[in-house]
Structure 1
Amino acid sequence: MSNLEVHNDTTGPESQIRNDREGIPSLDSLVALALAMYRDAMVPSEDNSLKKKHLDRVYGDVVDVTIDTCLDHLVNINIVDEWVNGGDWLIINERRDEIVNDEDLEVLLRDETERLVDDLEPLALADGGGDEITRREVVAEALGVGLDEIEEQLVDDEELWDWRENLETAIEAIEDEETVEKGGDYAPIRVIRNPYRYELTEWAVELAEA
Protein backbone atom coordinates (compact mmCIF):
# COMPACT_ATOMS: atom_id res chain seq x y z
CA MET A 1 0.00 0.00 0.00
CA SER A 2 1.60 3.29 -1.06
CA ASN A 3 1.43 6.73 0.46
CA LEU A 4 0.95 8.37 -2.92
CA GLU A 5 0.77 12.17 -2.77
CA VAL A 6 -0.35 14.08 -5.85
CA HIS A 7 -0.53 17.86 -5.98
CA ASN A 8 -1.76 18.52 -9.54
CA ASP A 9 0.46 21.58 -9.97
CA THR A 10 0.02 23.41 -13.25
CA THR A 11 3.68 24.45 -13.44
CA GLY A 12 7.09 22.92 -12.80
CA PRO A 13 8.22 19.31 -13.29
CA GLU A 14 4.79 17.91 -12.40
CA SER A 15 3.19 19.74 -15.31
CA GLN A 16 5.95 18.55 -17.63
CA ILE A 17 5.53 14.95 -16.52
CA ARG A 18 1.75 15.07 -16.93
CA ASN A 19 2.06 16.54 -20.41
CA ASP A 20 4.72 14.08 -21.57
CA ARG A 21 3.14 10.96 -20.07
CA GLU A 22 -0.55 11.85 -20.20
CA GLY A 23 -2.86 8.86 -19.87
CA ILE A 24 -0.42 6.21 -18.64
CA PRO A 25 -1.49 4.24 -15.52
CA SER A 26 1.69 5.10 -13.62
CA LEU A 27 1.39 8.87 -14.11
CA ASP A 28 0.66 9.75 -10.48
CA SER A 29 3.54 7.57 -9.33
CA LEU A 30 5.95 9.34 -11.68
CA VAL A 31 4.91 12.68 -10.24
CA ALA A 32 5.12 11.44 -6.66
CA LEU A 33 8.64 10.07 -7.13
CA ALA A 34 9.94 13.19 -8.86
CA LEU A 35 8.51 15.48 -6.17
CA ALA A 36 9.92 13.28 -3.40
CA MET A 37 13.37 13.36 -5.00
CA TYR A 38 13.22 17.15 -5.25
CA ARG A 39 12.05 17.43 -1.65
CA ASP A 40 15.05 15.35 -0.55
CA ALA A 41 17.51 17.40 -2.63
CA MET A 42 18.45 14.59 -5.01
CA VAL A 43 19.79 17.21 -7.41
CA PRO A 44 23.08 17.72 -9.31
CA SER A 45 24.34 20.37 -6.87
CA GLU A 46 24.16 17.94 -3.93
CA ASP A 47 25.87 14.61 -3.32
CA ASN A 48 22.59 12.76 -2.79
CA SER A 49 22.27 10.48 -5.81
CA LEU A 50 21.11 6.93 -5.03
CA LYS A 51 21.32 3.50 -6.63
CA LYS A 52 18.07 1.90 -7.76
CA LYS A 53 17.89 -0.55 -4.84
CA HIS A 54 18.26 2.33 -2.38
CA LEU A 55 15.63 4.36 -4.21
CA ASP A 56 13.28 1.42 -3.88
CA ARG A 57 13.98 1.19 -0.17
CA VAL A 58 13.43 4.92 0.41
CA TYR A 59 10.59 5.66 -2.00
CA GLY A 60 8.96 2.30 -2.64
CA ASP A 61 6.00 3.22 -0.45
CA VAL A 62 5.25 6.50 -2.24
CA VAL A 63 4.52 4.91 -5.62
CA ASP A 64 1.93 2.42 -6.84
CA VAL A 65 4.17 0.82 -9.49
CA THR A 66 7.76 -0.38 -9.45
CA ILE A 67 10.63 2.04 -9.07
CA ASP A 68 11.97 0.54 -12.31
CA THR A 69 8.87 1.68 -14.20
CA CYS A 70 9.04 5.17 -12.75
CA LEU A 71 12.73 5.61 -13.50
CA ASP A 72 12.39 4.37 -17.07
CA HIS A 73 9.76 7.02 -17.81
CA LEU A 74 11.46 9.83 -15.90
CA VAL A 75 14.82 9.20 -17.55
CA ASN A 76 13.19 9.11 -21.00
CA ILE A 77 11.61 12.53 -20.50
CA ASN A 78 14.77 14.08 -19.00
CA ILE A 79 13.39 14.56 -15.49
CA VAL A 80 15.81 12.07 -13.91
CA ASP A 81 19.43 11.50 -14.85
CA GLU A 82 21.12 8.08 -14.62
CA TRP A 83 24.90 7.78 -14.49
CA VAL A 84 27.67 5.57 -13.15
CA ASN A 85 30.40 6.55 -10.73
CA GLY A 86 33.52 5.40 -12.56
CA GLY A 87 33.66 2.75 -15.26
CA ASP A 88 30.82 0.59 -16.53
CA TRP A 89 32.21 -2.48 -14.74
CA LEU A 90 33.51 -3.17 -11.25
CA ILE A 91 36.29 -5.68 -10.59
CA ILE A 92 35.98 -7.13 -7.10
CA ASN A 93 38.53 -9.11 -5.13
CA GLU A 94 36.23 -11.25 -3.00
CA ARG A 95 38.96 -12.43 -0.66
CA ARG A 96 39.82 -8.84 0.26
CA ASP A 97 36.23 -7.63 -0.18
CA GLU A 98 37.49 -4.67 -2.20
CA ILE A 99 36.85 -3.01 -5.56
CA VAL A 100 40.16 -3.28 -7.42
CA ASN A 101 39.57 -1.54 -10.77
CA ASP A 102 42.85 0.36 -10.42
CA GLU A 103 44.96 -2.79 -9.98
CA ASP A 104 46.55 -5.03 -12.62
CA LEU A 105 44.08 -7.81 -13.43
CA GLU A 106 46.84 -10.26 -14.37
CA VAL A 107 48.55 -9.76 -11.01
CA LEU A 108 45.25 -10.26 -9.18
CA LEU A 109 44.50 -13.46 -11.09
CA ARG A 110 47.99 -14.85 -10.60
CA ASP A 111 47.82 -14.28 -6.85
CA GLU A 112 44.49 -16.10 -6.45
CA THR A 113 45.56 -18.85 -8.85
CA GLU A 114 48.75 -19.52 -6.90
CA ARG A 115 46.74 -19.68 -3.69
CA LEU A 116 44.36 -22.18 -5.29
CA VAL A 117 47.11 -24.34 -6.79
CA ASP A 118 48.92 -24.42 -3.44
CA ASP A 119 45.73 -25.90 -1.97
CA LEU A 120 45.51 -28.72 -4.51
CA GLU A 121 46.84 -32.11 -3.51
CA PRO A 122 50.06 -33.32 -5.17
CA LEU A 123 49.38 -35.16 -8.42
CA ALA A 124 50.66 -38.47 -7.03
CA LEU A 125 48.22 -38.30 -4.14
CA ALA A 126 45.25 -37.26 -6.27
CA ASP A 127 45.99 -39.99 -8.82
CA GLY A 128 46.50 -42.69 -6.22
CA GLY A 129 43.12 -44.31 -6.65
CA GLY A 130 41.93 -43.69 -3.09
CA ASP A 131 38.27 -43.67 -2.12
CA GLU A 132 38.24 -40.05 -0.94
CA ILE A 133 37.76 -37.42 -3.60
CA THR A 134 40.41 -34.69 -3.69
CA ARG A 135 40.24 -30.99 -4.46
CA ARG A 136 42.43 -31.63 -7.51
CA GLU A 137 39.91 -34.14 -8.84
CA VAL A 138 37.03 -31.73 -8.24
CA VAL A 139 38.79 -28.92 -10.12
CA ALA A 140 39.88 -31.19 -12.98
CA GLU A 141 36.31 -32.37 -13.50
CA ALA A 142 34.92 -28.82 -13.35
CA LEU A 143 37.42 -27.61 -15.96
CA GLY A 144 37.14 -30.73 -18.11
CA VAL A 145 40.87 -31.48 -18.07
CA GLY A 146 43.21 -34.13 -16.73
CA LEU A 147 44.63 -34.01 -13.22
CA ASP A 148 47.99 -32.87 -14.60
CA GLU A 149 46.51 -30.16 -16.85
CA ILE A 150 44.87 -27.91 -14.25
CA GLU A 151 47.64 -25.34 -13.93
CA GLU A 152 47.94 -24.97 -17.70
CA GLN A 153 44.19 -24.63 -18.12
CA LEU A 154 43.87 -22.04 -15.37
CA VAL A 155 46.62 -19.71 -16.52
CA ASP A 156 46.22 -18.11 -19.93
CA ASP A 157 48.18 -14.86 -20.09
CA GLU A 158 46.75 -13.92 -23.48
CA GLU A 159 43.10 -14.32 -22.48
CA LEU A 160 42.65 -12.77 -19.05
CA TRP A 161 38.88 -13.09 -19.12
CA ASP A 162 39.10 -16.82 -19.85
CA TRP A 163 41.60 -17.10 -17.03
CA ARG A 164 39.23 -15.29 -14.69
CA GLU A 165 36.31 -17.53 -15.67
CA ASN A 166 38.36 -20.71 -15.26
CA LEU A 167 39.55 -19.59 -11.84
CA GLU A 168 35.98 -18.82 -10.78
CA THR A 169 34.78 -22.20 -12.05
CA ALA A 170 37.53 -24.03 -10.16
CA ILE A 171 36.98 -22.23 -6.87
CA GLU A 172 33.20 -22.55 -6.99
CA ALA A 173 33.53 -26.27 -7.73
CA ILE A 174 35.53 -26.75 -4.53
CA GLU A 175 33.13 -24.61 -2.50
CA ASP A 176 30.09 -26.48 -3.83
CA GLU A 177 31.51 -29.98 -3.35
CA GLU A 178 30.34 -31.32 0.02
CA THR A 179 33.03 -34.01 0.26
CA VAL A 180 35.99 -31.61 0.20
CA GLU A 181 36.92 -28.45 2.09
CA LYS A 182 39.05 -25.50 1.12
CA GLY A 183 42.42 -25.69 2.79
CA GLY A 184 43.56 -22.20 1.86
CA ASP A 185 42.44 -18.59 1.58
CA TYR A 186 41.46 -17.76 -2.00
CA ALA A 187 38.39 -16.47 -3.82
CA PRO A 188 37.21 -15.54 -7.32
CA ILE A 189 37.85 -12.20 -8.97
CA ARG A 190 34.32 -11.05 -9.80
CA VAL A 191 33.26 -8.62 -12.51
CA ILE A 192 29.88 -6.95 -12.11
CA ARG A 193 28.14 -4.08 -13.86
CA ASN A 194 28.58 -0.80 -12.06
CA PRO A 195 25.03 0.13 -10.96
CA TYR A 196 23.47 3.36 -12.16
CA ARG A 197 22.92 6.20 -9.74
CA TYR A 198 19.91 8.50 -10.05
CA GLU A 199 19.13 12.16 -9.38
CA LEU A 200 16.98 14.89 -10.89
CA THR A 201 18.34 16.61 -13.98
CA GLU A 202 19.36 20.26 -13.92
CA TRP A 203 16.42 20.96 -16.23
CA ALA A 204 13.98 19.38 -13.76
CA VAL A 205 15.43 21.55 -10.99
CA GLU A 206 15.04 24.63 -13.17
CA LEU A 207 11.39 23.72 -13.77
CA ALA A 208 10.84 23.29 -10.03
CA GLU A 209 12.46 26.60 -9.17
CA ALA A 210 10.98 28.66 -11.99
Structure 2
Amino acid sequence: MFSLQRILGQDKKFFELLEASAAEAQSSIMALKQALNNVQATPNLAAFVAPRRRDKKITNEISELLCKTFVTALEREDIEALSAVLYKIPKTVEKFAERYAITFDRVRDVDFSRHLELLERAVTLVKEMVQRLHNQDLKGLVELNAQLQKVEADGDHLIQELNIELYSGKYDPLKAIILKDLFELLERTIDRCRSAGNVMYRIALKHS
Protein backbone atom coordinates (compact mmCIF):
# COMPACT_ATOMS: atom_id res chain seq x y z
CA MET A 1 0.00 0.00 0.00
CA PHE A 2 1.11 3.58 -0.61
CA SER A 3 2.16 5.51 2.47
CA LEU A 4 1.23 9.19 2.28
CA GLN A 5 3.63 9.97 5.11
CA ARG A 6 6.48 8.29 3.22
CA ILE A 7 5.65 10.18 0.02
CA LEU A 8 5.46 13.56 1.75
CA GLY A 9 8.58 12.75 3.73
CA GLN A 10 10.62 12.77 0.52
CA ASP A 11 10.55 16.59 0.56
CA LYS A 12 13.22 16.65 3.27
CA LYS A 13 15.41 14.42 1.12
CA PHE A 14 15.06 16.76 -1.87
CA PHE A 15 16.21 19.72 0.18
CA GLU A 16 19.10 17.74 1.65
CA LEU A 17 20.24 16.77 -1.84
CA LEU A 18 19.95 20.34 -3.13
CA GLU A 19 21.99 21.56 -0.17
CA ALA A 20 24.59 18.88 -0.88
CA SER A 21 24.72 20.00 -4.51
CA ALA A 22 25.29 23.62 -3.46
CA ALA A 23 28.06 22.43 -1.13
CA GLU A 24 29.79 20.69 -4.05
CA ALA A 25 29.56 23.91 -6.05
CA GLN A 26 31.28 25.70 -3.19
CA SER A 27 33.92 22.95 -3.00
CA SER A 28 34.77 23.48 -6.66
CA ILE A 29 35.27 27.22 -6.06
CA MET A 30 37.53 26.47 -3.09
CA ALA A 31 39.59 24.13 -5.30
CA LEU A 32 39.80 26.91 -7.88
CA LYS A 33 41.02 29.38 -5.27
CA GLN A 34 43.73 26.97 -4.16
CA ALA A 35 44.84 26.34 -7.75
CA LEU A 36 44.97 30.00 -8.76
CA ASN A 37 46.85 30.97 -5.60
CA ASN A 38 49.55 28.38 -6.30
CA VAL A 39 51.44 29.77 -9.29
CA GLN A 40 54.31 27.34 -8.78
CA ALA A 41 52.51 24.22 -9.96
CA THR A 42 50.05 23.16 -12.64
CA PRO A 43 46.65 22.56 -11.01
CA ASN A 44 45.64 19.04 -10.12
CA LEU A 45 42.55 18.41 -12.26
CA ALA A 46 41.41 15.62 -9.93
CA ALA A 47 40.50 18.33 -7.42
CA PHE A 48 37.94 19.61 -9.93
CA VAL A 49 36.74 16.30 -11.32
CA ALA A 50 35.80 15.01 -7.85
CA PRO A 51 33.20 17.66 -6.88
CA ARG A 52 31.73 17.62 -10.38
CA ARG A 53 31.31 13.84 -10.26
CA ARG A 54 29.84 13.96 -6.78
CA ASP A 55 27.42 16.63 -7.93
CA LYS A 56 26.48 14.56 -10.97
CA LYS A 57 25.66 11.68 -8.64
CA ILE A 58 23.48 14.01 -6.56
CA THR A 59 21.71 15.27 -9.69
CA ASN A 60 20.99 11.71 -10.78
CA GLU A 61 19.70 10.85 -7.31
CA ILE A 62 17.31 13.82 -7.45
CA SER A 63 16.04 12.67 -10.85
CA GLU A 64 15.49 9.13 -9.58
CA LEU A 65 13.71 10.41 -6.48
CA LEU A 66 11.41 12.56 -8.59
CA CYS A 67 10.39 9.45 -10.52
CA LYS A 68 9.43 7.71 -7.27
CA THR A 69 7.66 10.65 -5.61
CA PHE A 70 4.07 11.61 -6.36
CA VAL A 71 3.75 14.70 -4.14
CA THR A 72 6.41 17.38 -3.67
CA ALA A 73 6.34 20.70 -1.80
CA LEU A 74 8.07 22.36 -4.75
CA GLU A 75 6.97 21.91 -8.34
CA ARG A 76 8.86 19.13 -10.05
CA GLU A 77 10.15 21.38 -12.83
CA ASP A 78 11.53 23.79 -10.22
CA ILE A 79 13.42 21.00 -8.47
CA GLU A 80 14.80 19.80 -11.80
CA ALA A 81 15.77 23.33 -12.89
CA LEU A 82 17.57 24.11 -9.63
CA SER A 83 19.34 20.76 -9.62
CA ALA A 84 20.50 21.24 -13.21
CA VAL A 85 21.85 24.75 -12.76
CA LEU A 86 23.64 23.87 -9.49
CA TYR A 87 25.43 21.06 -11.33
CA LYS A 88 26.57 23.49 -14.02
CA ILE A 89 28.65 25.43 -11.48
CA PRO A 90 31.31 22.75 -10.79
CA LYS A 91 31.07 21.64 -14.41
CA THR A 92 32.01 25.12 -15.64
CA VAL A 93 34.75 25.43 -13.02
CA GLU A 94 36.20 22.12 -14.20
CA LYS A 95 36.21 23.39 -17.78
CA PHE A 96 38.10 26.49 -16.67
CA ALA A 97 40.62 24.35 -14.76
CA GLU A 98 41.27 22.23 -17.86
CA ARG A 99 41.98 25.31 -20.00
CA TYR A 100 44.03 26.91 -17.25
CA ALA A 101 46.18 23.79 -16.85
CA ILE A 102 46.84 23.60 -20.59
CA THR A 103 47.93 27.25 -20.75
CA PHE A 104 49.47 27.44 -17.27
CA ASP A 105 52.94 28.62 -18.32
CA ARG A 106 51.44 31.51 -20.28
CA VAL A 107 48.97 32.75 -17.67
CA ARG A 108 50.55 31.90 -14.31
CA ASP A 109 51.44 35.58 -13.85
CA VAL A 110 47.83 36.76 -14.28
CA ASP A 111 45.95 38.07 -11.24
CA PHE A 112 42.55 36.36 -10.92
CA SER A 113 41.90 37.61 -7.38
CA ARG A 114 38.96 39.84 -8.31
CA HIS A 115 37.26 36.94 -10.06
CA LEU A 116 37.85 34.73 -7.04
CA GLU A 117 36.35 37.31 -4.69
CA LEU A 118 33.18 37.51 -6.79
CA LEU A 119 32.95 33.73 -7.19
CA GLU A 120 33.33 33.10 -3.47
CA ARG A 121 30.63 35.64 -2.68
CA ALA A 122 28.31 34.27 -5.36
CA VAL A 123 28.56 30.60 -4.41
CA THR A 124 28.25 31.41 -0.69
CA LEU A 125 25.04 33.31 -1.42
CA VAL A 126 23.71 30.40 -3.49
CA LYS A 127 24.41 27.96 -0.68
CA GLU A 128 22.69 30.24 1.84
CA MET A 129 19.70 30.66 -0.48
CA VAL A 130 19.23 26.89 -0.74
CA GLN A 131 19.25 26.73 3.06
CA ARG A 132 16.69 29.54 3.25
CA LEU A 133 14.55 27.67 0.72
CA HIS A 134 14.71 24.57 2.91
CA ASN A 135 13.73 26.60 5.98
CA GLN A 136 10.96 28.36 4.02
CA ASP A 137 12.52 31.73 4.78
CA LEU A 138 11.33 33.26 1.52
CA LYS A 139 11.88 36.87 2.60
CA GLY A 140 15.48 36.11 3.48
CA LEU A 141 15.91 34.28 0.19
CA VAL A 142 14.71 37.31 -1.78
CA GLU A 143 17.13 39.57 0.11
CA LEU A 144 20.04 37.25 -0.64
CA ASN A 145 19.06 37.12 -4.30
CA ALA A 146 19.33 40.91 -4.49
CA GLN A 147 22.89 40.61 -3.20
CA LEU A 148 23.60 37.90 -5.76
CA GLN A 149 22.34 40.10 -8.58
CA LYS A 150 24.77 42.79 -7.39
CA VAL A 151 27.65 40.31 -7.54
CA GLU A 152 26.68 39.36 -11.08
CA ALA A 153 26.56 43.04 -12.09
CA ASP A 154 30.03 43.51 -10.60
CA GLY A 155 31.16 40.55 -12.70
CA ASP A 156 29.82 42.21 -15.84
CA HIS A 157 31.71 45.40 -15.03
CA LEU A 158 34.88 43.39 -14.43
CA ILE A 159 34.72 41.60 -17.78
CA GLN A 160 34.15 44.92 -19.55
CA GLU A 161 37.20 46.38 -17.85
CA LEU A 162 39.31 43.35 -18.73
CA ASN A 163 38.18 43.39 -22.36
CA ILE A 164 39.41 46.97 -22.66
CA GLU A 165 42.76 45.80 -21.31
CA LEU A 166 42.88 42.84 -23.70
CA TYR A 167 42.19 45.01 -26.72
CA SER A 168 44.76 47.61 -25.68
CA GLY A 169 47.66 45.63 -27.12
CA LYS A 170 49.17 44.95 -23.69
CA TYR A 171 49.35 41.21 -24.39
CA ASP A 172 50.64 39.25 -27.34
CA PRO A 173 47.78 37.98 -29.57
CA LEU A 174 47.84 34.36 -28.37
CA LYS A 175 47.87 35.30 -24.69
CA ALA A 176 45.03 37.75 -25.30
CA ILE A 177 42.94 34.98 -26.88
CA ILE A 178 43.72 32.61 -24.00
CA LEU A 179 42.84 35.19 -21.36
CA LYS A 180 39.61 36.16 -23.09
CA ASP A 181 38.55 32.50 -23.02
CA LEU A 182 39.50 32.11 -19.35
CA PHE A 183 37.84 35.36 -18.29
CA GLU A 184 34.63 34.40 -20.07
CA LEU A 185 34.56 31.00 -18.34
CA LEU A 186 34.89 32.66 -14.95
CA GLU A 187 32.14 35.11 -15.85
CA ARG A 188 29.99 32.18 -16.97
CA THR A 189 30.50 30.55 -13.58
CA ILE A 190 29.20 33.69 -11.88
CA ASP A 191 26.27 33.62 -14.31
CA ARG A 192 25.54 30.01 -13.27
CA CYS A 193 25.30 31.18 -9.67
CA ARG A 194 22.97 33.98 -10.72
CA SER A 195 20.82 31.50 -12.65
CA ALA A 196 20.52 29.32 -9.54
CA GLY A 197 19.44 32.40 -7.63
CA ASN A 198 16.87 33.25 -10.29
CA VAL A 199 15.34 29.77 -10.06
CA MET A 200 15.02 30.08 -6.29
CA TYR A 201 13.65 33.61 -6.60
CA ARG A 202 10.90 32.35 -8.92
CA ILE A 203 10.10 29.60 -6.43
CA ALA A 204 9.84 32.20 -3.66
CA LEU A 205 7.44 34.28 -5.74
CA LYS A 206 5.24 31.25 -6.39
CA HIS A 207 4.99 30.46 -2.69
CA SER A 208 4.75 33.99 -1.30
Structure-1-length-normalised TM-score: 0.30
Query: RCO (CA 8 Å, sep 6+): is it higher in 1 or 2?
Result: 1
State the TM-score, normalizing by the size of structure 2. 0.30
Larger radius of gyration: 1
User: Greater helix percent: which structure?
Assistant: 2
- The structure where strand makes up a greater share of residues is 1
